[in-house]
A and B are shown apart, each in its own frame.
Chain A
Amino acid sequence: MPDLLSHMAAGYLLLAKIKSRAWFIVFLIGTCLPDLVTRPFYIIFPKLFWIVMPAHTPAGLFLLCLGLSGFFAARQRNRVFITLFAGCMLHLFLDLLQKHAHGGYVLLFPFSWDIFEFGLFYSEKSTDFLPLWLLLAGIIISRIKRKYKLNEN
């Protein structure tokens, strides 16, 4: 998988679309969520692998975001769900760019175990791209800050 820093940096590509800093942070939480709720558990407790695996699929993430949104005030609940889920989908899209000797990601679980990926690079290569992602994120942040300064003036 690309590292979480790459996942978050990719989220900045959509920063301009999410005008509120607070909601953008919710979106960034969504970009980390699929790995946060799976990998630490089965790395530390390998027996949990198949138990947590559904949380890294679209269906599992839909349910996870639905459940998490339930902890929020009624007026924000739906927006929290949509924002978190959008972040999760960006995470899955980036994961699909990877390639494996023979493997991929299960998109239609539980209806099918068929795997799919675009197969562009091996997952460990994400650390090679990280400087590029961070540079792009930095450029986007500075452009938006300059735009807000101009608007204030």
Chain B
Amino acid sequence: MAWWRIVFSVGVLAVLAWFAVENPPANSIAELHANPQKYFGKSVTLYVETCIDSIAAEKFRVREGEQTIWVHGVTDPAWLHHNLSLDGILTSDFTVQLNRIHIYQNRRWIIVFSLLALLLLFLFGLPVLIWRHGAFEVDEYA
């Protein structure tokens, strides 16, 4: 095995992860929490992996990782826990006035098909990877 490749890649990936955590992009709830003054009255977008985790009267809460924010707008209770992407204006009470939203449907089917793909890969893919002389090999004769 090439230990330098493994250690180098893990090390740099860890640095990239730290960078992403410490410097989230402008279209993230984390950044809005970190620098709210910068975005009051301005158009903000929320990152594609946010999901609706709570619904109240004429507003709903979206979650991105461990960060949340309330959004003024009417939403269907059926959309609870659905992923979405949206943009709107950040108001001074730290809520987002909704402008545009897209709810991702068929999430369950995407997960089902993805798990099916993984099962096929496991059944047909594993036999081509063999362990020999202290390292993996692609069994070209499989």
* Partner-B contacts on A (CB < 8 A): 1-8, 20-23, 25-26, 28-29, 32, 35-36, 42, 46-55, 59-60, 63-64, 66-67, 69-74, 76-77, 79-80, 100-104, 106, 109-110, 113, 115, 122-124, 126-127, 130
Show 19 A/B contacts (Cβ-Cβ < 8 Å), sorted by A. Answer: A3-B109, A22-B141, A26-B128, A32-B118, A35-B114, A42-B65, A46-B66, A49-B49, A51-B21, A54-B16, A63-B13, A73-B132, A74-B2, A102-B100, A109-B16, A110-B19, A115-B27, A124-B109, A126-B110
Cα(A22)–Cα(B140), bound, Å? 5
On whether the beta carbons of B2 and A69 are closer than 8 Å, the reply is yes
B111 neighbours in A (Cβ, 8 Å): 3
On whether the beta carbons of A70 and B3 are closer than 8 Å, the reply is yes
On whether the beta carbons of B136 and A3 are closer than 8 Å, the reply is no
On whether the beta carbons of B114 and A3 are closer than 8 Å, the reply is yes
A46-B63, A115-B27 are contacts. A73–B133 as well, Cβ < 8 Å? yes
A8-B121, A72-B138, A113-B25 are contacts. A122–B102 as well, Cβ < 8 Å? yes
A50-B21, A67-B9, A101-B85 are contacts. A5–B117 as well, Cβ < 8 Å? yes
Cα(A130)–Cα(B106), bound, Å? 13
A74 neighbours in B (Cβ, 8 Å): 2, 135
Closest B residue, CB atoms, query A69: B5
* Residue interface mask B31-61, A partner, CB < 8 A = 1: 0000000000000010111000000000000
Cα(A101)–Cα(B116), bound, Å? 29
* Partner-A contacts on B (CB < 8 A): 1-6, 8-10, 12-13, 16-17, 19-21, 24-28, 30, 45, 47-49, 63-66, 84-87, 100-102, 104-107, 109-111, 113-114, 116-118, 120-121, 124-125, 128, 132-133, 135-142
A71 neighbours in B (Cβ, 8 Å): 1, 6, 135-136
On whether the beta carbons of A124 and B105 are closer than 8 Å, the reply is yes
A32-B121, A80-B138 are contacts. A122–B66 as well, Cβ < 8 Å? no
List 14 additional contacts besides A110-B19, A127-B106; criterion CB under 8 Å: A3-B110, A3-B117, A20-B140, A21-B142, A22-B128, A22-B138, A22-B142, A46-B65, A48-B65, A63-B9, A69-B2, A71-B6, A72-B135, A101-B84
CB within 8 A of A25: which of B26, B28, B128? B128
CB within 8 A of B1: which of A21, A42, A49, A70? A70
On whether the beta carbons of A51 and B17 are closer than 8 Å, the reply is yes
